């Protein structure tokens, strides 16, 4: 449907193609606008990615206060640097993750600790109860520690695939490789991870 919009300005009638709006907007288009510092476009990216960035940060810093501080900083830095982002088809979340990872790393360095004990946060679904949650956090800290010992692209693949919940296609675009190459890297990374975990256990 295309509607006619008359907003009361004399002699100005605008044809509105958006009165019946479908979810067909392309992210590339939004990104192109955002890179030109279009505030509304950036706001829509924020709406799209806030949850994912927060989850990513929370994985490394399982404390509500820390996760909120870092998430806020990620978006502020992203806005300041948005004009440097290149719309090449690589997922925007990978770019945000790079900012988030750097912030998490410097937080770790300054705090000289890896993963602190978690505070309670808004855990909604599958509420596992305090005991199970403590166990989950323990496993997570243990595995998180091991992930950081992975080398180069292996670490990136594991982070993007599992912590960022990205598909093979998205990871392939982010790392400029084929999907097949990502599957191979994933296998090797998990194998290395197993080695690190076994060594740590000993």
Partner 1 sequence: MNRKEEVLSRCIDEVLSGRSTVEDCLLRYPELRNELRPLLEIALSIQPPKVAPSPEFRSRLRRRLLDVMAPAEAYQGRKEVTHGWFSSLLSVRMVAVSLLAFVVLSTGTVSVFASQSSLPGDMLYPVKVGVEKLQIAVTSNPEDKAYLHLKLAQRRIDEVTTQVNLSRSPDFSGLATLSAQTDAALHEIEKTSHGDINAFLSHLAESAINQQIALGSIRTENGHDNVQQAMDTLQRVNLIAETAYNNAAFLNTRPSVNDESLEQGRFTVDGTLLSVAGRTWNIGGMVLSNVRYSGEVPAINSRIKIDGLNKSNEVFIIKLEQKNDAQEEVIIGGFFNGTDKSGKTWYVGEMPVNAPEGKTPPVEGKKLEVQGVTQNVSVTITDVKEQSGEERAREQDAKMEGKLSSVDVKNKVITIKVAGAQISLNIGSSKIHTKDGKEISLSELPSMVGKELKVLGLDKKDGTIYAKDIRIDVD
117 is a site residue for partner 1 (CB under 8 A): no
Contact 182, 157 (CB under 8 A): yes
Task: Rank residues 112 and 122 by Cβ distance to partner 1 and give the closer one.
Answer: 122
95 binds partner 1 (CB under 8 A): no
Candidates 70, 100, 103, 147; binder of partner 1 (CB under 8 A) is: 147
CB of 199 to partner 1, least distance (A): 14
Among 18, 83, 132, 138, binds partner 1 (CB under 8 A): 18
How many CB atoms within 10 Å of residue 106?
A: 11
Which listed residue (2, 10, 11, 47) binds partner 1 by CB under 8 A? 47
Q: What character string, x for contact with partner 1 (CB under 8 A) and - otherwise, covers 157-186?
A: -x---xxxx--x-----------x--xx-x
Residues 6+ positions from 94 with CB-CB distance below 8 Å: 160, 164, 166, 170, 173, 174
Task: Please list the residues that pair with 13 across neighbouring strands.
Answer: 6
- Indicate the residue among 15 and 112 with the shorter CB distance to partner 1: 15
When asked if residue 40 is in the footprint of partner 1 (CB under 8 A), the reply is: yes
> Residue 90 interacts with partner 1 (CB under 8 A)?
no
CA 17 to chain centre: 32
Which residues neighbour 176 within 8 Å (Cβ) at sequence distance 6 or greater? 90
Q: Which residue has the tokens 């705090």?
A: 111
């Amino acid at each position: 449907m295309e509607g006619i919009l008359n907003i009361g300005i004399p002699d100005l009638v605008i044809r509105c193609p958006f009165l019946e709006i479908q979810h067909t907007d392309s992210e590339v288009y939004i990104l192109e606008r955002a890179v030109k510092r279009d505030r509304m476009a950036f706001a829509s990216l924020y709406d799209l990615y806030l949850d994912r960035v927060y989850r990513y940060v929370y994985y490394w810093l399982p404390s509500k206060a820390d996760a909120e501080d870092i998430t806020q900083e990620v978006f502020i830095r992203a806005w300041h640097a948005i004009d440097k982002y290149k719309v090449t088809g690589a997922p925007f979340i990978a770019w945000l993750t790079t900012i988030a990872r750097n912030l998490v790393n410097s937080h770790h360095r300054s705090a000289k600790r890896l993963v602190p004990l978690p505070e309670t946060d808004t855990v909604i679904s599958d509420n596992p109860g305090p005991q199970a949650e403590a166990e989950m956090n323990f496993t997570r800290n243990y595995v998180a520690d091991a992930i950081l010992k992975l080398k180069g692209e292996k670490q990136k693949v594991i982070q993007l695939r599992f912590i960022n919940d990205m598909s093979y296609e998205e990871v392939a675009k982010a790392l400029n490789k084929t999907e097949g190459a990502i599957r191979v890297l994933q296998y090797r990374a998990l194998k290395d991870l197993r080695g690190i975990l076994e060594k740590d256990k000993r």
